Chains A and B, each alone.
Chain A
């Protein structure tokens, strides 16, 4: 109906200018805890003890953060005396095997990247944030990134969730059906190391225990722009940040 056409025009362009400009609208990202200097080593240890998943490590009087483990419980954000500083950015994708070990896809993919999303038991948040990338505020099509319906056309496999046992086979089949070259993204704390589910009897403990993961997107869930940053890093239009810690317990 024509009024939808006018309605759409009237609302104007609302898309973010990221990556050309940093998007600073409030609430696009929950931010992240960052390494914080305390007065004494004891305080740093107390700050580390706040974290239920050992994402905070005390080193001298500093508390360092292994963001890939963080489940955003906010215990280091408020509610007790030993808090960490929080940054409000969202560019925090990291290479799974460490800095320098990551090869972006070649230039031909720059403006045409097809992404296959597999839900391997996520809680709905990560999947939802991926879905937000399709809405007009993020509109990833403008960057030449598309979701695809079939693994045969896919260049990137985006995995969310800790890989529940019943999804192991469908996930592997999807991977095998994709042509090379391909890149694998583990999006969210669960896909990285199992998150709150960990490695348990029906949870494989992350995509890396099933597939050769290339990039990690920490967060629980990572906001849409963090996922977009990762997708840009797939083709080398952005760089993964330096690895913050090794992926222990994931081998």
Chain B
């Protein structure tokens, strides 16, 4: 393994729940009331008035050391319910709940203290029309200003989801005068638009304005949500099984992780005990997905540096893993397997043998590839010191997944907030301190190997038994489910009514989180490095846009 960088990596430190409670009690005692959380949340902090929100969030994030999970906005008939999720490492999810009457139109913004909340507030402002007071820049986020007029809040309840926006009266013609916001104002500076339909190759639809003064690009901020299909809105009013199909299909490269997080949430509502065999199989499938995803991400990095032979070899490994998934589970992207209560099908030992063979071959090829890449100086030159996000910035922006881990963060839900039986497995969470493109590549390789190890472990401990438990009791309400998707932490939150219909569905995705921090890696870089930085981040637009 390559040597760790200069700055030492902080060891994993558990944040005790009592400590969290004591800290907030002491500082905000009169403004809050504490409650034991339920259904995925371990501690709920209810705010009696909005004005402590910003300080409390800041204290949780910076003083207590929690990481930020996301914001869930809910519209009830008489009130807004805003729930801010924080992760107390090793202990579980802490929610900060603010309820205000439905007539209220503005709440305090927390993003001055917790920068990672920035986009969550912009999203809520666009979709619910809630204003976040003190937020520096609202609007033109999900609802692109050149299409949408001001004052439309499509996620509010009265907005019907079945009417296509195109037919609504309020829709304007594309506004010819619309211009993106440019920050760099130096004489001679100009902006180069990239996307949403890519000039070259196959890319997801997203857009960048590369603000440059010539050779060096000073700033590149992604403009996303071209692919926004309003998954959360479509889910409202549907049954759990239909929403499961959606959860599985909005981001196919991590579909198993998302359907798993969703199923875990439903299982909490139905108090379902997932059979042992299903838990093991889920670990196996989730790690198979991670392995395949990382092989794909490595292919992308090799392609971005135009190292054709390596890219081809990596692409072959990825395709072989896709085929192995298909042979094993009947679908190349592992659709149709998860269901609340377990899995929809079982496997026989011959399936495992074939799969293990394919996984071992893939790992062997990956190791060979990694060895060669380590000795290809022209390749390393393009990755080293490119797109650097240093550990303090990564912490500030709350980066998750392999990208965060390459910048010294230990954020891995499998370890920090174990779910689905991961606490009984032994595995490494690789970390690097440099935070450059090369560190991200190394983390991808290490994680791929760790996933293969987990697949082996899960097969070794496979016991016969049922693979699904049926739902017996069900109390309407909300629950949180989470999983460490290949790109990072994925959170799915649902509220069900008495008849099991989804009232509100919220998917918080790692790509959303990391796109927010992407700008940190693209400050003042050479234009030709742009595709490389993009590839080493390996983010998905569809997962972010939903």
Chains A and B bind each other: yes
Give the interface of A toward B (CB within 8 A).
Answer: 1, 3-5, 7-8, 11, 14, 25-30, 52, 71-75, 77-79, 117-125, 127-132, 134-137, 147, 149-151, 161-162, 164-171, 173-174, 195-205, 220-221, 223
- B228 x A201 contact (CB < 8 A): no
Interchain nearest-CB distance for B209 vs A (Å): 15
In the complex, A220 Cα to B331 Cα: how many Å? Answer: 9
Is B543 at the interface (CB under 8 A from chain A)? yes
Contacts of B337 in A (CB 8 A): 74
**Interface class of chain A by DSSP:** loop
- B249 x A4 contact (CB < 8 A): no
How many chain B residues sit at the interface, stated as a range, is 35 or more
Query: What are the 4 A-B residue pairs with the smallest beta carbon separation, nearest first?
Result: A27-B323, A74-B336, A125-B252, A135-B315
Is B312 at the interface (CB under 8 A from chain A)? yes
With A117-B202, A135-B312, A170-B205 as given contacts, are A200 and B249 in contact (CB-CB < 8 Å)? no
Most B CB atoms within 10 A — which of A3, A14, A166, A169?
A: A166
- A199 x B162 contact (CB < 8 A): yes
Q: Looking at the complex, which one of A73, A135, A151, A199 makes contact with B336 (CB distance below 8 Å)?
A: A73
In the complex, A221 Cα to B335 Cα: how many Å? Answer: 10
Give the interface of B toward A (CB within 8 A).
Answer: 144, 147, 154, 159-166, 174, 196-205, 225-231, 233-234, 241-242, 245-246, 249-253, 255, 296, 307, 309-310, 312-313, 315-316, 318-319, 322-327, 330-333, 335-337, 344-345, 372, 375-376, 378, 540, 542-543, 545
- A79 x B204 contact (CB < 8 A): no
With A27-B324, A52-B245 as given contacts, are A203 and B229 in contact (CB-CB < 8 Å)? yes
**Interface class of chain B by DSSP:** loop
**Other A-B pairs, 7, CB within 8 Å; known A72-B331, A131-B202, A135-B316:** A4-B310, A8-B312, A122-B227, A135-B318, A149-B198, A151-B197, A197-B231
In the complex, A129 Cα to B319 Cα: how many Å? Answer: 10
Contacts of B315 in A (CB 8 A): 132, 134-137
- B345 x A78 contact (CB < 8 A): yes
- A201 x B226 contact (CB < 8 A): no
- B161 x A4 contact (CB < 8 A): no
- B326 x A147 contact (CB < 8 A): no
Nearest residue in B to A158 (C-beta to C-beta)? B202
- B226 x A74 contact (CB < 8 A): no
Interchain nearest-CB distance for B223 vs A (Å): 10
Contacts of A167 in B (CB 8 A): 196, 205, 226-227
Q: Looking at the complex, which one of B233, B253, B336 makes contact with A200 (CB distance below 8 Å)?
A: B233
In the complex, A99 Cα to B139 Cα: how many Å? Answer: 48
Contacts of A196 in B (CB 8 A): 242, 245-246, 249
Contacts of A221 in B (CB 8 A): 252, 332-333
- A121 x B229 contact (CB < 8 A): yes
- B162 x A201 contact (CB < 8 A): yes
In the complex, A30 Cα to B318 Cα: how many Å? Answer: 16
